[in-house]
């Protein structure tokens, strides 16, 4: 992260005008992140290129180690005033940085898939033991209509990257375009906080970013005490 320019910089930083060999993957990556902060893509082959650099960390880590490396040029002043930084820049960029963290395991592959934009839980995610929890999701992706979701999997108290998986995932049902839902039986779940993680696979077998949410299971006694 650096200031300033309101751009996301990808390799390369020198002006030989040759595109990075991973250009298509980088373009997808930056486009996905820019959905959150509205920044433009900057690299040596684009008109948004700011200035030539030599030996910078973005080029080094990608060229030497193959790491998907980006630089956020935040704000519109080198010494940004505190109010703008706290109330605009932080808010604009935290979601973008959270998304970058979510896809850090496989950034070039994950951004080709369909992401879960929002998870909605019935009763604000608080249920009594044995009650049904209704889960609705909204998906987003550049090709969500031309390459729709093939399957949508919900993992209870597990992450799809866990090995071995503690249980088989629950298949969600598509409802409207870009939406899906399922019902989760909470019978037998321990009291306390539980996590669901959802991953979408499209018809080209690309998997999008994993999105998670928490819900709370309380005892029947707690339910009556609350009333």
With b for 16 or more beta-carbon neighbours within 10 A and e for fewer, the 17-52 pattern comes to eeebebeebbbbbbebbeebbebebbbbeeeebeee
115-226 has which fold? Immunoglobulin-like (2.60.40)
Q: Look at residue 66 in the predicted model and tell me its pLDDT.
A: 87
Let me know how long the chain is: 227
**pLDDT per position as a tens digit, 11-51:** 888 766 678 888 899 999 999 999 999 999 988 877 787 76
pLDDT at 223 over 60: no
Q: 60: Cβ–Cβ under 8 A, 6 or more apart, which residues?
A: 69
Q: Look at residue 4 in the predicted model and tell me its pLDDT.
A: 84
**pLDDT per position as a tens digit, 161-199:** 998 887 889 999 988 888 999 999 999 999 999 999 999
CA 121/CA 137 separation, integer angstroms: 9
**pLDDT per position as a tens digit, 48-85:** 877 677 667 888 888 888 889 999 999 888 888 899 89
**pLDDT per position as a tens digit, 124-133:** 999 999 999 9
Range(s) within the chain of domains with CATH label 2.60.40.1930: 115-226
pLDDT at 2 over 70: yes
Q: Look at residue 207 in the predicted model and tell me its pLDDT.
A: 94
Tell me the longest C-alpha to C-alpha distance in the chain. 71
């Amino acid at each position: 992260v650096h200031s300033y320019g309101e751009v996301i910089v990808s390799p390369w930083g020198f002006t030989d005008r040759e595109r990075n060999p991973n250009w298509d993957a980088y373009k997808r990556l930056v486009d996905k992140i820019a959905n959150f902060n509205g920044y433009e893509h900057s690299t040596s082959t684009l008109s948004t290129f700011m200035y030539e650099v030599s030996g910078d960390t973005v080029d080094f880590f990608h060229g030497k180690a193959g790491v998907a490396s980006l630089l956020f040029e935040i704000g519109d002043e080198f010494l940004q005033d505190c109010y703008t930084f706290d109330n605009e820049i932080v808010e604009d960029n935290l979601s973008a940085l959270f998304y970058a963290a979510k896809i850090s395991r496989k950034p070039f592959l994950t951004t080709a898939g369909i992401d879960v934009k929002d998870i909605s839980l019935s009763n604000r995610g608080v249920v009594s033991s044995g009650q049904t929890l209704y889960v609705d999701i909204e998906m987003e992706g550049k090709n969500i209509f031309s390459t729709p979701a093939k399957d949508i999997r919900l993992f209870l108290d597990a992450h799809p990257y866990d090995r071995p998986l503690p249980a088989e995932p629950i298949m969600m049902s598509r409802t409207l375009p870009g939406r899906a839902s399922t019902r989760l039986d909470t019978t037998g779940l321990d009291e306390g906080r539980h996590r669901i993680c959802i991953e979408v696979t499209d018809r080209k077998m690309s998997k999008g970013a994993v999105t998670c949410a928490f819900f709370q299971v309380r005892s029947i006694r707690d339910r009556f005490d609350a009333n």
